[in-house]
Amino acid sequence: MPASSRPSHVRFRIIVLIFLITSINYADRATFSIAGNAASVELGLDPVATGFILSAFAWAYALAQIPGGALLDRFGTKRIYAGAIAIWSLLTAAQGLVGFVPGLSAVATLFVLRFLVGLAEAPSFPGNARLVAAWFPGSERGTASAIFNSAQYFSLVAFAPLMGWLVHSYGWRSVFWVMGALGLIGAATFVRYIHSPVRHPAINAAELAHIAAGGGLVHMEERGAETTRAFSWDNLGRLLGSRMMLGIYLGQYCINVLTYFFVTWFPIYLVKERGLNILEAGFAAAAPALCGFVGGLAGGFLSDRILKRTGSLDRARKIPLVIGMLLATLIIACVWADSETLVVVLMAVAFFGKGIASLGWAVMADVAPKQLAGLSGGVFNMFGNIAGIVTPIVVGFIVAATGSFDWALVFVGAHCLLTIFAFLVIVGPIRRLELPA
């Protein structure tokens, strides 16, 4: 076969860059969970105040999902996403300055800054979903979505030890400054290398044809006037009026309860409940994160394999989800674990399962109306990240009221079972939602 007729592989470079940007994204969300214990001592924060600060990101992130998705549909992925990366990175760095200005409340300042980070990060995952829908044929979307979604685990594998070491060696403020600088580098890289399929200088006609033949929306960024009218209250009502979509939204909320416990309270749990120091906690948090990363890749691969062998999208997405969520319920067993090693092992198995089950973005690429890719992803991510509001606050109140994390672990584990109920009972057959002409 002549070299010119072989498909290029630009889409693989695109997913690698999305993966790296998303790793920085999640690390920025977790900065306060690593730096929070030392910051709480210096700034005088109690568990309830810490819980509200940890939840501030998700308040804004959830509320801004629909506007963020609409902006992506209106102005295109590249401009909105690149600007978002730069803004959230600057705001992350600014958190390292809290406490330097006399008279300003540390709690209020941290809440506002993390709230603004949430606003800025809102377009990120809908943007990822748009890029995957544009760059990958249907038979590869499960794996591609699993790759960028698994960045939430890899980010802690890569950055939790780094951030723990920074706190230990240079103080908690250094975490915010270093992560902010890395984000600005990521923004510049994104601008340089991300383009739509039909405009990318490195793609050849064979790869473009392969993507388009498999259902990739290669002209998504060039639809112009069609996308400018994508948002309307009628369209939003159609999404919210679909039983399938509501079941998917509920399932994503429940999965994210586990995610947000891990990126907010888990390192603090290791320090306060299990007696580790912050450096040990940073490395201990990396083990479950690594297992979640492996599970995420395994879940995407398994899902696409089932789809190719059976042709059933329903089985391909639901079988890994049920297996993964059953494994994730093992987080409850930490209540009876006597050793720190056993706790880390149980958490590792739970997050391996959670990784396998994390196919929500692949499902969204399968079911979202073609005209509403950004809006559909925004609504989906809004529901999912309401868990980021609820989980840190509920855990904070549980810990304050009981002096223990036991009931907090039960709270998290129960949501794993509710995820299974949502997808098996409420969602029904997984298929693309069609809008009326």
Residues 242-295 have pLDDT tens digits of: 899 999 999 999 999 988 888 778 877 887 777 777 667 767 777 787 888 888
| Residue 318, pLDDT above cutoff 90 | yes
Structure confidence at residue 405 as a pLDDT band (50, 70, 90):
confident
**Span 164-173, pLDDT tens digits:** 888 888 888 8
Distances (CA, A) of 130 to 16, 83, 281, 359, 368: 15, 16, 36, 15, 10
> What's the pLDDT at 278?
63
Q: What is the length of the chain?
A: 437
> What's the pLDDT at 163?
85
**Span 11-59, pLDDT tens digits:** 899 999 999 999 999 888 778 777 777 777 777 777 777 777 877 887 8
CA distance 73 to 60: 20
Kindly list the structural domains of the chain, giving each domain's residue range(s) and its CATH number in brackets, ordered by start: 7-215+242-427 (1.20.1250.20)
> What's the pLDDT at 223?
56
Task: Establish how many alpha carbons lie within 13 A of residue 188's alpha carbon, considering only the half-sphere containing its beta carbon.
Answer: 5
Amino acid residing at 4: S
| Residue 229, pLDDT above cutoff 60 | no
- For the chain, the average pLDDT equals 83
> What's the pLDDT at 226?
46
Residue bearing the bigger pLDDT, 137 or 185? 185
**φ, ψ for residue 165, nearest 5 deg:** -65, -40
CA dihedral 141, 142, 148, 153 (to 10 degrees): 180
**Structure pTM?**
0.73
* Mean pLDDT value across residues 118-122: 90
CA distance 242 to 55: 29
Structure confidence at residue 222 as a pLDDT band (50, 70, 90):
low
Structure confidence at residue 2 as a pLDDT band (50, 70, 90):
very low
**Span 78-109, pLDDT tens digits:** 889 999 999 999 999 998 888 776 666 777 88
CA distance 335 to 108: 33
Distances (CA, A) of 212 to 133, 193, 215: 10, 21, 5
Structure confidence at residue 417 as a pLDDT band (50, 70, 90):
very high
Q: Which two tokens stand for residue 180?
A: 């902010």
CB 138 within 8 A of CB 214: yes
**Which one of 39-43, 52-56, 124-128, 176-180 scores highest in mean pLDDT?**
176-180
> What's the pLDDT at 224?
47
In this prediction, what percent of the chain has a pLDDT beyond 90?
24
* Mean pLDDT value across residues 53-71: 81
Q: Look at 1-10, 96-105, 152-161, 238-247 and tell me which has the smallest mean pLDDT.
A: 1-10
* CA end-to-end span of the chain: 43
**Span 145-155, pLDDT tens digits:** 888 877 877 88
| Residue 230, pLDDT above cutoff 60 | no
In this prediction, what percent of the chain has a pLDDT beyond 70?
92
Residue bearing the bigger pLDDT, 276 or 136? 136
Q: What are the residues whose beta carbons fall under 8 Å from the beta carbon of 402, sequence distance 6 or more?
A: none
| Residue 298, pLDDT above cutoff 80 | yes
> What's the pLDDT at 185?
94
